[in-house]
Structure 1
Amino acid sequence: MIAALGLAELKLLLRNRTAATLAVLMPLAAGLYFALGVGGEDDSWTMVVTLQLLFSFGFTVYVTVTTALTARRQDLYLKRLRTGAASDVVVLTGILLPVVVLGLAQALVLLGVSMAAGAPLPTRPDLLVLALIGGAAISCAAGVCTSGLTGTAELAQITTAPFFFAMIIGGLMGMSGGEDAWVFLIPGGGLGTLTGAAWGGPTDHVLEALASVVAWTAVATALSTRFFRWDPRT
Structure 2
Amino acid sequence: MTTTATSPPGTTTPLGAITALGVAELKLLLRNRTAATLAFLLPLAGGVYFALVLSGDGWAAAITFQLLFTLGFTVYLTATTALTARRQDLYLKRLRTGAASDAVVLTGLLLPVVLLAVAQTALLLGISFAAGAPWPERPGLFLLAVGGGAAMSCVAGVLTSGVTSTAEMAQLTTGPYFIALVFGSMVATAGEVDDWVAFVPGGAIGLLVRAAWGGPTTQVTLALLSLALWTVAAYAASTRLFRWDPRA
Going from structure 1 to structure 2, the CA distance change for 1:178 and 1:11 (only over 3 Å counts) comes to farther
Question: Which of 43, 56, 60 lines up with 2:74 in the alignment?
Answer: 60
Partners of 2:151 and 2:192 in 1: CA distance: 21
Q: Does 1:144 align with 2:158?
A: yes
Letter in 2 for 1:4: A
8 A Cα contact 1:178 1:189, kept in partner? no
User: 1:207: which partner in 2?
Assistant: 221
Contact 1:175/1:197 (8 A) holds in 2? no
**Structure 1 residues 11 and 178: alpha-carbon distance in aligned structure 2, compared to 1, 3 A threshold:** farther
SS of alignment partner, residue 118 of structure 1: coil
Kindly provide the amino acid, as one letter, of the partner of residue 180 in structure 1. D
> Normalized against structure 2, the TM-score is what?
0.91
2:69 match: secondary structure: helix
Q: What is the CA-CA distance between 1:165 and the residue it aligns to?
A: 1.8
Change (3 A) 1:74 1:178: farther
Query: 1:83, 1:121 → 2: CA distance?
Result: 49
Q: Aligned equivalents of 1:155 and 1:67: distance in 2? A: 9
> Residue 29 of structure 1: which of 42, 45, 59 is its match?
45
Residue-by-residue CA offset, 1:166-190 (whole Å, 9 max, x unaligned): 1121122223566312212312211
| Greater CA drift, 176-185 or 104-113 | 176-185
Identity of aligned residues (%): 65
In structure 2, the residue matched to 1:182 is 196
- 8 A contact 1:63–1:160 mirrored in 2: yes
Q: Which moved more, 1:169-178 or 1:9-18?
A: 169-178
**Unpaired stretches in structure 2, ≥5 consecutive residues:** 1-16
In structure 1, how many angstroms separate the alpha carbons of the residues matched to 2:230 and 2:202?
Answer: 9
Q: TM-score, normalised by structure 1?
A: 0.96
Over the aligned positions, Cα root-mean-square deviation in angstroms equals 1.2
Task: Give 1:120-139 correspondences, 5 Å limit.
Answer: 120-139=134-153
d(CA) in 2 for partners of 1:107 and 1:27?
A: 9
Structure 1 residue ranges, 4+ long, deviating more than 4 angstroms after superposition: none
Listed as ranges, the matches of 1:48-197 within 5 Å are 48-175=62-189, 179-197=193-211
Q: Distance in 1 between matches of 2:53 and 2:190?
A: 21
Q: Residues of 1 paired with 2:107 and 2:192: CA distance?
A: 33
**Residue type matched to 2:242 in 1?**
F
**1:73 aligns to what SS in structure 2?**
helix
Contact 2:187–2:193 (8 Å) recurs in 1: no
3-state secondary structure, aligned to 1:127:
helix
**1:178/1:193 contact within 8 Å kept:** no
